[in-house]
Structure 1
Amino acid sequence: MARIFMIGAGNVATHLSQALQKNGHEITQVYSKTQSNAISLSEKLGCSYTNELHNIDPCDIAIIAVKDDVINEVASLINCRIPIVHTSGTKDLAILGKGVIGVFYPLQTFSKNKIVDFQNIPICIEANNSKFLQFLNNLANSISNNVHQLSSEQRNYLHLSAVMVNNFSNLMYQMATEICEKNKISFDLLKPLIQETSNKVQQMTAIETQTGPARRKDVQTIERHLTLLDSDKEKRKIYEILTESILNRS
């Protein structure tokens, strides 16, 4: 069992601390610069809270789960004798400075009120010494069956890929919703298609699962779609770029 000081009270901090606690670890304390957020998460976990980083209860590790642009600042305020990790997909290990440092990156999209099963979530770890790496490996394996050791460079490329499959695809859902609403069509009609596409990519490569007019080189359908988008320059441009990319891979 590890004693963990959780720095942050947002989506990642909330889900990660709950998963760690559920699997036998002790969240000793929660920090947030916003006291109400610290109190809210500490009440869920039944632990103490603080909004001052110099007031830390004894712990085995401090997990920094805050916005990327303040990780360095937060790390600089923590006693260097405490092993620390951050949970970012984009920030290098070295941003944490000196001492025993590491990365504990859960690759998933988190929303506070949406329960997630950590057992299948990839957790990417990195550390500046082998002993701490083994500690992080044990910690990660206690909550997930999907643990990987990646360098900072590899993790950056993984995060880039995650943005493409998650954030960009979600933007497509938003745009499709706008088209449907404008034309009095229920977006629900597209949900079985979304589900089937998601299911297929679990078993086949993305190239194998690609279908549609660009994959078939169906120029007439492509031109018809572009005509429908004449009044929306942004969607038309995105449609053209993505269609060209599919054509180049077909």
Structure 2
Amino acid sequence: MVLLLFVDLDAELAALRPLGGFFLLRTAGRPPRPLPALADAYGETQPEVHPDPLMLRVRKVADGIRAPEARVAASIAHQGLAARLWSVALGCAALYGTVPDLDPRLVRWDPEATAPDDLWLTEVRPGTDLAAAVLVGHLRPLGAALRARYPLAPGLLRGNAASALAGAARQLERWAAAHDRPEAAARARALTAGLLAHPDLAGAGRFLPSGGFRRRSCCLYYRVPAGGVCGDCCFPSPPRSSPRAPSG
């Protein structure tokens, strides 16, 4: 468990703005239209806006990447949402020293939008545990909801979560180096190392001496037409002999 010391969070989470759109979390004003809560997408609450926002997102991803099968789109959709949540939470942890309460009932989600207009936090209040905020509060129920619909291996989802975390950490460290914020980089590194040792992520991947990250499973992107392999893939090149990727 990664615990953080509490400091005040401003109502607009303005410290995240310099990090770029992928790290932003809308808090001011209202979404352009009624949006479901992430708790609706996970099946934790009864949707009031869209009957199945998660399936809507997977279908949108499938159309965008021309996915040859639904599980490929589901994996990419999972990694994309995981990356957004990690970026917001890790950015807050590194720059504020704490994270806001990201209860899935408080976070509104537009499954048809892209960052930074996809996530809206309806109330900014303090949280303390980064692992609980993202791993337990979001990625566990998100993974369960996706696996109830699509044949996704647990190891694949663990790899997606670890890869998304590592990507957010690398982006944050690059920003910190460019803006002379060594304390933010050090905090991001320490938090990321702790999270990768969490039981939900342990063994899913590791940082390389070069600074890159290598996961133990594949997100299936290689199955997209002309997709190739990602930079942190367990495969050095797209596999040809087996239709199934390792699950970790």
**TM-score, normalisation: structure 2:** 0.24
Structure number with higher helix proportion:
1
Q: With a CA cutoff of 8 Å and minimum separation of 6, indicate the structure with the bigger relative contact order.
A: 2
| TM-score with structure 1 setting the length | 0.24
